[in-house]
Amino acid sequence: MTERIYNFSSGPAVLPLEVLKQAQQDLLALPGVGMSILEISHRSKTFESILNTAVEDIRRLADIPANYHILFVQGGASMQFSMAPMNLLPPNSAADYIVTGTWSKKAVKEAGKVGTVNIAASTESDKFNRIPDAAEIKLDPQAAYVHFTSNNTIFGTEWKAEPQTGTVPLIADMSSDIFSRPLDVSKYALIYAGAQKNLGPAGVTLILIRDDMLPRSPASLPTMLDYNTYAKENSLYNTPPVFAIYIVGLVARWIIDQGGLSEMHRRNERKAGLLYAQIDSSDFYRGHAVAGSRSLMNVNFRLPSEDLEKQFVSEATRAGLDGLKGHRSVGGCRASIYNAFPEEGVQTLVSFMKEFERTHS
């Protein structure tokens, strides 16, 4: 078998080995079907069953109440930056956005093309190294909704609990931490997440939407940009990304088989804990996020100089630790350790960090 390395990429990211093996096994022919998932009609009974099983497993996994629709949409989380306001921000109203990183800013930019946006809080002046305190967030009780980014992939910060918005509908971009920990979906009006970090391959975005939000969509919306189209047609109005949905279904089942969201959380806390402990125990490495805002998914750190960072990334790559270069906008190093990332890989990185410090400080 081709040897696998440790993949710290921020996304598309590592998938569970069991899922890849299952996909490999099914790739010539799905059992009893004689054709692969890449070749069957999206209108076939087989695909309908794959889709419905994925939806049922996702519902079970996160205990999603019956009044939420589980939808598969294309266009990435970036399209949701537009679709959410197009559907849920009525004319003559305003939405509150909490800005905690690059992706929140992009969400604001797109919402601003649709309607009025208020910045309820921003931690940009602190280089997005933290999540704002409740006291800093100025929410408008009349807002159409509040939007926040639950995990900031680029800066390595994560909300420990959702902002309290009272009766104002809450929307979250959970692209980089969905299903990494227990989730109370009933607190949200809309959750969206691009699949390519914790859910599966690129090409599909998971949408969880409460049914009382659906009547807000204006009739003038293009069909493919209207959540109602996906809700009415079970994500089958047009040809959906069948392969991506199939893998998302396998990943949902994998999480259930591993023990569900609490078990994912336990593992993620352990894995991130190992890395943060290493960062905290040395003056050589410096974390970016402040302690109370640290992400379990993306661990950002700096070394004493950019030259050392470059050397660190290239030596790590040679040692089979791939994808540790920080996002181009912030520099430094970043270890993305989503659900499927194995603890042995984190231990290997910690040993590598210790050795690199010993030989380069």
Residues lying near ligand PMP in the complex (CB under 6 A) = 11, 76-78, 103, 149, 153, 173, 175-176, 194
Catalytic choice (197, 226, 254, 325): 197
Q: Using the minimum distance from each CB to ligand PMP, give the nearer residue, 228 or 336.
A: 336
Residue 26 among the catalytic residues: no
Residue 175: CB minimum distance to ligand PMP, A: 4
At 130 the three-state DSSP class reads: coil
Q: Is the CB of residue 212 less than 8 Å from the CB of residue 69?
A: no
Write down the least CB distance from residue 356 to ligand PMP, Å: 27
- Annotated catalytic residue 140: no
Q: Please, which residue, 59 or 106, has the CB nearer to ligand PMP?
A: 106
To ligand PMP, the closest distance from the beta carbon of 129 in angstroms equals 16
- Report the b/e string of 251-279 with b at 16+ CB within 10 A: bbbbbeeeebbeebbebbeebbebbbebb
Q: Cα(296)–Cα(181) distance, rounded to whole angstroms? A: 10
Residue number, nearest CB to ligand PMP? 76
Q: Strands, DSSP E only, in the chain?
A: 6-7, 68-73, 94-99, 116-122, 146-149, 151-152, 157-158, 170-173, 190-194, 205-210, 286-287, 298-302, 321-322, 333-336
CB 300 within 8 A of CB 333: yes
CB of 119 to ligand PMP, least distance (A): 17
By C-beta, is 22 or 78 nearer to ligand PMP? Answer: 78
**DSSP class of residue 322?**
E
Two tokens at 253? 């089942």
Asked if 103 is an active-site residue, the reply is yes
CB of 138 within 8 A of CB of 104?
A: no
CB of 171 to ligand PMP, least distance (A): 12
Q: Do 218 and 199 contact (CB within 8 A), yes or no?
A: no
Question: Is the Cβ of residue 76 or residue 90 nearer to ligand PMP in the bound state?
Answer: 76
Reported as half-sphere exposure (CB side, CA atoms, 13 A), residue 106 has a value of: 15
Smallest distance, ligand PMP to C-beta of residue 176, A = 4
- Specify the residue, 197 or 267, whose C-beta has the smaller distance to ligand PMP: 197
Nearer to ligand PMP, 87 or 198 (CB): 198
**Residues 49, 43 contacting (CB under 8 angstroms):** no
Catalytic-labelled residue, pool 96, 103, 177, 254: 103
- The one catalytic residue among 57, 96, 159, 173: 173
Q: Other C-beta atoms within 10 Å of 346: how many?
A: 23
- Tallying the residues shown for the chain, one arrives at 361
Please identify every residue annotated as catalytic. 103, 173, 197
